[in-house]
Amino acid sequence: MIRAIVLLIITFIALLVFIGLYVDETRRVQETYRKQYKTSLNGVVESMTSYLDNDGDHDLRYARILSDMSSANSFAFLIDSLSDDQKKTINELHACIMKYPEQMSERFEETRTAINDIIADTDKGYEEAAAVVDSVDKQGN
């Protein structure tokens, strides 16, 4: 009987240790996702700045914007701390950049401001991004 109680206590302690390790690893993974998300958004801002400042190969620069936005969109869905509305806004912004390049290239200033606010962890960034998405004529090109 004593052996069973000792074994139960050891098992309980081991369970607590494994739960603690799991929680710690989950937190670390979420931090990594958040860091990658912000890195991707920084890439979008840098590519938009490059697109707006240069007269060179706009197609290549636009492809870089789309690639970085696609990466940010993927990481957004892995981050637990983002609300469903925030994830939806990032997804819709990505879709607009992908489907409506002519319209979105005209809105890069507002989009860049919104993304900078998102990087700075302000909720108004997502509202600004939603306003950009709402301003796109989804029936047009």
Does 6 have pLDDT greater than 60?
yes
For the segment 76-104, the average pLDDT, to the nearest whole number, is: 92
Q: Which of 113, 73, 63, 125 is nearest to 94 (CA)?
A: 73
Residues 92-119, mean pLDDT to the nearest whole number: 91
Helix (H, G, I), strand (E, B) or coil at 122: coil
pLDDT attached to residue 136: 87
Give the pLDDT mean for 52-79. 89
Q: Can you list the domains of the chain with their CATH numbers?
A: 32-135 (1.20.120)
Q: Percentage of the chain with pLDDT > 90?
A: 71
Give the residue-averaged pLDDT of 83-110. Answer: 91
For the residues 122-132, what does the mean pLDDT come to? 90
Report how far residue 123's alpha carbon sits from residue 55's, in angstroms, rounded to the nearest whole number.
33
Residue 131 has pLDDT above 90, yes or no: yes
110 CB-near residues (< 8 Å, 6+ apart)? 128, 131, 132, 135
* pLDDT at 141 (0 to 100): 56
Rounded to the nearest integer, the mean pLDDT of the chain is 91
CA atoms of 32 and 26, how far apart (whole Å): 10
- The sign of the dihedral angle between the CA atoms of 30, 35, 82, 92 is negative
